Amino acid sequence: MTNKEFADFLLPDVEHSWEEYEKMYPERNLASDAIVTRYAPSPTGLPHIGNLLQCFMAKRFARQSNGVFFLRIEDTDTERTVENGVSKILDVLKDFDIAFDEGMISDTDEIGSYGPYMQSKRRDIYRAYAKKLIEEDKAYPSFASKEELDEIREYQEATKQRLGYYGRWAKDRFITKEDAVKRIQDGEKYVIRMKSPGDFYKTIIVDDLIKGKMEMPENDIDEVIIKKDGLPTYHFAHAIDDHLMHTTHVIRGDEWVSSLPKHLQIFDVLGFKHVKYAHLAPLLKDDDGTKRKLSKRKDPEAGLVYYHEEGIPIEAVMIYLATITNSNFEAWFDANPNASINDFKFEFKKVGSSGGAIYDIDKLTNISKNYISRLKASDLYDRVLEWAKVYDNAFYKLLSKYKDYTTSILNIEREQKKPRKDFAKYSDVFKQVWYMYDEVFDSKELEYDFKNVTDKDEIKTILKTYIEKYYSDNDTKEEWFSKIKLLCDELGYASDMKEYKANPDKFKGNVADVSTVIRVALTTSSMTPDLYELLRLLGKERIQKRFERFY
């Protein structure tokens, strides 16, 4: 029996030959330095922040080289695949501005001419290449049952040998074609394994774009390439896909580093050109001084819904991911705060190579505060409205009802050179401006802390004198402040801080104490944005009503 006959017997249903597939996936028409890369998740769960970082990098490297970034779904492990897995992945990512040039765009549809982009739809392709290997005597059917494999493993463990189906353990290599045909005709189940040409005692060197040169032993295990169900293993499938889709760079988690000898060998045996690798270490968390892996279970910030729920601007997350990607990004961004991330040229060699980066939520919070502070009031209004629509219905109603008023509140100390940085996320907004809405103010059990002035009559006198004698809706800021000073003079508070410091006993207190009384009576809080602006927005009538609570 010839190898060809044997291959036809094992894989009779292959529709196209591997040569035909090579023709169907011609070289891409791109510049020689264009990066073609992919995100290749299995549809078994939702992407986490580490995956987002990976996508961010892949997209940037593809974009800045005028290359291609595509989404390939690796669903050969049918048991772990979840329902609507693709749309779940896409939903989470699209909010983060990760758009793919090619690939799946829903659970069923795709764009691009290098598809299908879902491995379960590429069964024939993998089988065509498996057939090639059988014809070339580089692969063989293996009948070893689970029990047999367990027995081998137990023996290897007991005798302290390397585990796996290699060397003298790889017995099925020596089954004749005729015997194999007979066993298959008798109904025996089998997988297809690749004959490893590797020698464990020789080393290969892989030059990783992030980790640098790594030396590893060659693979000598006869890996399964086609499983009993006729579908390929991930290792085999991904190599064929990256070859046919003309991937130039693989950016992925470093849990795959140990598979590199196996992967490179598959590329070699199939006669494929190698891709370049950039393996990313997992993100870390500083847990009171000890570093550990960021965990989806323990750390809410590891999941992507967290950012939506909290209302952290996507742009802030992206800026933070850029600072993790390249150590020199931050300085560049400080110098060019209005530039787009897309103007920065990322480099693989500037990705930290000494283990995982610390994922620092405080740093992200800071970036976010800066980012929000530079938004126009109307833009911030729209964003908060959109956020509240999903996550805070009561606030959404207020926002919709008082659009212009809210925009003015948000505009206090904004749109100026050094804007106020009080919101790190959209969910902070209500917590800081609730008192500006009468509906909320009037329906709440309020607690006031007037700080230095504690006497009730004194508080009443300050408020009453102020509103009756010194407040006017039409005052400029200067006029307003000089009236506050006049109020202080009349009531025995120092209007000049220097004078107060020189002679504190001469006064009941100072101008700050008086402002605090007014501020607290209006808002309950002694920490608010500019008092003059608050007063103007409230207007005399509402100020009076709030003061009357103390008469």
Residues that bind ligand GLU (CB under 6 A): 40-42, 74, 234, 238, 250, 252, 256
What's the closest the beta carbon of residue 525 comes to ligand GLU, in angstroms?
48
Considering the complex, state which of residue 42 and residue 81 has its C-beta at the smaller distance from ligand GLU.
42
What's the closest the beta carbon of residue 118 comes to ligand GLU, in angstroms?
12
Q: Taken in order 223, 226, 232, 233, is the CA torsion positive or negative?
A: negative
Considering the complex, state which of residue 112 and residue 419 has its C-beta at the smaller distance from ligand GLU.
112
Between the two ends of the chain, the Cα-to-Cα distance in Å is 107
Considering the complex, state which of residue 40 and residue 412 has its C-beta at the smaller distance from ligand GLU.
40
Label residue 170 exposed, middle or buried (CB < 10 Å: 0-12, 13-18, 19+): buried
What's the closest the beta carbon of residue 57 comes to ligand GLU, in angstroms?
13
What's the closest the beta carbon of residue 44 comes to ligand GLU, in angstroms?
8
What's the closest the beta carbon of residue 41 comes to ligand GLU, in angstroms?
5
Considering the complex, state which of residue 73 and residue 375 has its C-beta at the smaller distance from ligand GLU.
73
CB contact at 8 A, 236 and 263? no
Which residue type sits at 255?
E
What's the closest the beta carbon of residue 250 comes to ligand GLU, in angstroms?
6
Considering the complex, state which of residue 242 and residue 392 has its C-beta at the smaller distance from ligand GLU.
242
Considering the complex, state which of residue 104 and residue 250 has its C-beta at the smaller distance from ligand GLU.
250
> Between the CA of residue 447 and those of 77, 516, 525, what are the distances in Å?
59, 15, 9
Q: If DSSP codes are grouped into helix, strand and coil, which group holds residue 39?
A: strand
Cα separation, 117 vs 115, in Å, equals: 5
As separate numbers, helices (DSSP H) first and strands (DSSP E) second, the chain gives 23, 15
Output the CA torsion 162→165→166→172 (10° steps): 150
- DSSP class per residue in 310-365: HT--HHHHHHHHHHHH-TTHHHHHHH-TTS-GGGS---GGGS--SSPPB--HHHHH
Q: If DSSP codes are grouped into helix, strand and coil, which group holds residue 167?
A: helix
CB contact at 8 A, 471 and 436? no
What's the closest the beta carbon of residue 172 comes to ligand GLU, in angstroms?
28
Cα separation, 144 vs 265, in Å, equals: 23
Cα separation, 295 vs 118, in Å, equals: 28
CB contact at 8 A, 61 and 346? yes
> Between the CA of residue 502 and those of 61, 482, 499, what are the distances in Å?
63, 21, 5
325 alpha-carbon distance from chain centroid: 12
What's the closest the beta carbon of residue 84 comes to ligand GLU, in angstroms?
17
Considering the complex, state which of residue 167 and residue 253 has its C-beta at the smaller distance from ligand GLU.
253
Cβ neighbours of residue 295 closer than 8 Å, sequence gap 6 or more: 285, 302
What's the closest the beta carbon of residue 145 comes to ligand GLU, in angstroms?
28
Considering the complex, state which of residue 127 and residue 252 has its C-beta at the smaller distance from ligand GLU.
252
What's the closest the beta carbon of residue 234 comes to ligand GLU, in angstroms?
6
Considering the complex, state which of residue 43 and residue 198 has its C-beta at the smaller distance from ligand GLU.
43
What's the closest the beta carbon of residue 3 comes to ligand GLU, in angstroms?
30
What's the closest the beta carbon of residue 59 comes to ligand GLU, in angstroms?
15
CB contact at 8 A, 252 and 222? no
Considering the complex, state which of residue 47 and residue 529 has its C-beta at the smaller distance from ligand GLU.
47
In the block, tokens 């004194």 appear at: 458
Cα separation, 524 vs 505, in Å, equals: 28
Considering the complex, state which of residue 243 and residue 425 has its C-beta at the smaller distance from ligand GLU.
243
Cα separation, 451 vs 449, in Å, equals: 6
CB contact at 8 A, 148 and 154? no
In degrees, rounded to 5, the angle at the alpha carbon of residue 57 between the alpha carbons of residues 55 and 62 is: 95
Q: If DSSP codes are grouped into helix, strand and coil, which group holds residue 62?
A: helix
What's the closest the beta carbon of residue 74 comes to ligand GLU, in angstroms?
4
Considering the complex, state which of residue 252 and residue 369 has its C-beta at the smaller distance from ligand GLU.
252
Considering the complex, state which of residue 75 and residue 310 has its C-beta at the smaller distance from ligand GLU.
75
Token reading at 60:
């940037």
- Paired with 303 in beta bridges are 48
